[in-house]
Structure 1
Amino acid sequence: MERDPERDRLTGRMARFARVGVGLGGAAATFGANALFAGGDAQARNAKALKEALGRLKGPMMKVAQMFATVPDLLPPEFAAELAELQTNAPAMTGAFVRRRMAAELGPAWASRFAAFDVNPSAAASLGQVHRATALDGRPLAVKLQYPDMQSAVESDLSQLRTVLALGRQMFGAIDTSEIVVEISDRIREELDYGREAKAMRLYADFFAGRDDIAVPRPDLDLSTGRLIAMDWLDGRGLMSWKGADQETRNRIARTLFEAWWTPLIQLGVIHGDPHLGNYSFTEDFTHDGGGRLNLLDFGCIRIFPPRFVGGVVKLFRAMTTGDREGEAEAYRAWGFKGLTDDLMDVLHIWAKFIYGPLLDDRVRTVADGVAPGEYGRREAFQVKQALDEKGPVTIPREFVFMDRAAIGLGAAFLHLAAEQNWRQLFEASLEGFSEEALAERQARALAAVGLG
């Protein structure tokens, strides 16, 4: 009897839903016991129970958990620390399975479209794995192949988010997470669309086409589908391997990273929303005096902002520079915060002062003196959460989520490097000629050129 693929997908989805539910059910029991018997370490025990429940799975749900762990203000430190340790790597597909997947995407003669293809992955992550290959014209390629049935797995895991939030309602306090859930769900669904990623890659490649010090892989559309993307292979060393470089080289790395992240936001209204350190590499010849280049990698999580949101970023910087409280309120409203009161403004100012602190200080400095990379933003986030528990509630606007998340990840990268810059001068240089009207025009042209909505 012939197997029904749709039935198999439904069965797999239901089984996954059950596994997640059983794990979270165990966490719920622990939460309940801790509520009864309390104790000073109840939060730590709750956090560990949730981590263990999610850690039994590989793939999308763990990616969701890690996203939550890197959204400032959302989780108490105990939960953030536990969830940040979750590993997103899924078991690699075997060679035989890779061949079947490639045939499903490019047809039975797929191998004839490459001069060489290594069925053993060079890297594996939560939604897919990367293979080295060679194009027929000799170009080295990176080929990202999505795991099978990922859309079904993602939808099952996202549907469990409500359960996670119900279990952890006590840890969110006065913060309404509804918009955060919508935002994270939308971004993960976008990461499944490799066609969209190819367009985002072309957007960044076009934007940095005039710079020799920043490289973006170009997708090979003839060898790509919605679940397979072939692109230029860019050789380089990961960011962490540069921690022992001389101070001037580390400073240049930080300056290049800053420009690669902030300039597209100010000029195009887009950010690279995944702060993973593995998404940046540098060629071996990268030096303090201008040699070498930064490679930007992985364009699955690209957030496009309306010009008014970027205008809010600039307005808040200018308002904090001059002490203009009404200007700050206008910026928060542009970001989507509602029901602003003096008390809520005071709370938001704690976080804004942290994020904008290096940009307001007109001197050469680190982004946060004396702070470890893993602790960057944790103290301030906890202060904000405590204050909101007293003066809230507040709904975090969805557009704020990945902006904040990525900024924290970028700051942590600078701390890993112990880089020193005049961050204010770098930021002001990115603002040259800025206006919301000019941004709207540039953004519309750039997105239309690559077919990205």
Structure 2
Amino acid sequence: MSSDDASEDFPASKLERSGLFAKTGLKVGKNYAEYLMDRATGADDPEARKRELNTQNARDLFKEFTRLRGTALKLAQSMSMDTGLLPDEFMDVMAEAQYSVPPMNKALVRKRIRDGLGRFPELLFDAFEPEAMAAASLGQVHRARLDDGRTVAVKVQYPNVRETIESDLAVARTLFERLVEGEDLDDHFEEVKARLQEETDYLNEAENIHHFADQYDGDKLVIPRPVHDLTSEMVLTMTYVEGQHLDAFLDTDPDQERRDHFGQRLWDFLHEQVASNARTLHADTHPGNFLFRDDGRLGVIDFGCVKTFPQPFRDDMLRLYRARMADDEDEITRLLYALDILRDDLPQDTQDELRQFFDRYGSLIVEPYRQSTFDFGAPGFRERLQDSFEAASQLRAATGSPHFIFLNKALVGLLNLLTRLDARVDTTGSVSLLNEALADLGCAPVGK
């Protein structure tokens, strides 16, 4: 499929999209049937054949999801890259294709900008590059120049993305109902739907950018600024941020000092958000949203997926961190119930399984705070982290507050970035920040 006709193949109706989901399911089923046949006849190395099966299924899924774009592609990328819930082969395919979504053709881009801003791009900008510099799940980005000489990035949303959220989530829910048990799926899917609706409203994203630029742009971070008079629900114009994405940065073979430097920037950014009274988190912590710059500052882009936590949830998470650091088992138990991770209506064996998992995972998460400097490149930590992701994929109970969804997305994304950087991070500043936030709750501080 060429880039010129890719956009015309964007299936927008519920019937078309359901048909593509069904077609993809048949392909995956055929691949699996062939694998079972090979295994039954003893052909080939079973482990190698299973890896091949996973890769083929991932490629078939991604091929169709790039046509679906929107919610379907975003969910597929999130499941693979942010949580470790799918096999490694899926992550490899998704990472390889992260920036390979077919772009809209030039005529449709012009129409989308005219529909969103009232005029064609050549009448709005001093210069506009018709070729997309990046194309992702919900939209694509073009470089342009304003009349005052500033270089800007113009994000143009694919057609009908907002209209497909409900139908795509309905199909996704059917899949998840086969994988998990519990009565809280409604709350979890409502949380996902709410964030997706916000993410497809570029006026909302412009406000998010404004908030984060005011709070964090400076000596350590570079945040774009929105251009409000060239922004609408479907077109977002913001100042352009230079820098390399993670893969390009790692390809330069940076020394350990450089890796540690940017790892520290990432670590500090998340903790400043958690400790802030605004309780607002940049929740899409994946490699495509950070830029590694020659001047040492970290560029942060894409503020569609932003989560503001209710005060009680944020405060209980701080208390849980403190209880883990203090090994206060009674307080940990109380908070696991307060956060709906443990519930009296769950079978006892399920509660025991959940408690064991969250004790292991919680201990792993607080481990960096127990040391003044933590090495995220240490093989032992990386392996235990991957083991935790695999163990999480075996949990079939839908449990925990829906607010965990985007907290986990941010946290797991951060850990993934830090382990890929092999960064060594000074944690003393983050512990101080968290202690200040705990003091506001009337809690005693924690130490190393």
1:354 corresponds to which residue? Answer: 364
With over 3 angstroms needed to count, the CA separation of the structure-2 counterparts of 1:184 and 1:78, relative to structure 1, is: farther
Over residues 366-396 of structure 1, what are the superposed CA-to-partner deviations in whole Å (9 max), with x where a residue is unaligned?
Answer: 12511697x773212223455x46xxx4524
Query: Judging changes above 3 Å, is the alpha-carbon distance between structure 1 residues 355 and 368 closer, same or farther for their aligned structure 2 residues?
Result: farther
User: Which residue of 1 is the match for residue 281 of structure 2?
Assistant: 271
Secondary structure at 2:323's aligned position in 1?
helix
1:315 offset after TM fit, Å? 1.4
1:74·1:175 contact (CA, 8 Å) conserved in 2?
no
Shift of 1:193: 0.8
Displacement of 1:263 after TM fit?
Answer: 0.9
Between the two proteins, what is the percent identity of the paired residues? 27
Partner Cα distance (2:124, 2:11) in 1: 33
- Give the counterpart of 1:428 among 412, 422, 431: 431
Offset at residue 228 of structure 1 (A)? 0.4
Check whether the contact 2:181–2:398 (CA below 8 A) recurs between aligned residues.
no
AA matched with 1:249: R
Deviation at 1:356, TM superposition (A): 2.0
Q: Assess if the C-alpha contact under 8 Å between 2:342 and 2:400 holds in 1.
A: no
Alignment partners' CA distance in 1, 2:400 and 2:421: 31
Amino acid paired to 1:294 = L
> How much does 1:258 deviate?
1.2
> For the Cα contact (< 8 Å) 2:337–2:343, is it kept in 1?
no
* Counterpart among 211, 215, 224 of residue 222 in structure 2: 215
Residues 52/181 of structure 1: CA separation in 2 closer, same or farther (3 Å cut): farther
Indicate if the aligned counterparts of 1:23 and 1:54 stay in contact, CA closer than 8 A. no
Q: Mean Cα displacement is larger for which, 406-415 or 237-246?
A: 237-246
Determine the C-alpha separation between the residues in 2 that align with 1:221 and 1:190: 17
Q: Which amino acid aligns with 1:381?
A: F
- On the 8 A contact 2:111/2:120 being kept in 1, the answer is no
Q: Bigger shift: 179-188 or 393-402?
A: 179-188
The answer (yes or no) to whether the contact 1:105–1:225 under 8 Å persists in 2 is yes
* Deviates further, 403-412 or 326-335: 326-335
**Shift in Å at residue 106 of structure 1?**
1.6
Quick one: which amino acid aligns to residue 259 of structure 1? D
Question: Residue deviations 1:324-345, cap 9 Å, x none?
Answer: 0122123323433241645532
Q: Quick check: 322-331 or 295-304, which moved more?
A: 322-331
Q: Which residue of 2 aligns with 1:302?
A: 306
Unmatched tracts of structure 2, length 5 or more = 1-8, 41-45, 345-350, 443-448
Query: Please, which of 329, 334, 355 is the counterpart of residue 330 of structure 1?
Result: 334
Q: Give 1:204's match in structure 2, choosing from 212, 217, 222.
A: 212
TM-score, normalisation: structure 1? 0.80
Q: Compute the TM-score of the two structures, normalised by the length of structure 2.
A: 0.81
Q: What is the letter of the counterpart of residue 144 of structure 1?
A: K
CA distance in 1, matches of 2:120, 2:103: 23
CA distance in 1, matches of 2:21, 2:413: 28
Which residue of structure 2 aligns with residue 92 of structure 1?
Answer: 103
Tell me the equivalent position of 2:271. Answer: 262
Alignment of 1:429-448 (within 5 A): 429-435=432-438
Aligned length: 415
1:436–1:200 CA distance, 2 compared to 1 (3 A):
farther
Secondary structure (helix, strand or coil) at the match of 1:219 reads: coil
Cα offset for 1:235?
Answer: 1.5
When structure 1 is superposed on structure 2, of 195-204 and 407-416 the one drifting more is 407-416
Is the alpha carbon distance of 1:86 and 1:38 closer, same or farther for their aligned partners in structure 2, counting shifts above 3 Å? farther
In 1, Cα distance between equivalents of 2:86 and 2:101: 25
> Does 2:285 match 1:285?
no
Of residues 258-267 and 427-436 in structure 1, the stretch that sits farther from structure 2 once superposed is 427-436
For 1:380 and 1:21, locate their aligned partners in 2 and report how far apart those are by CA, in whole Å.
Answer: 32
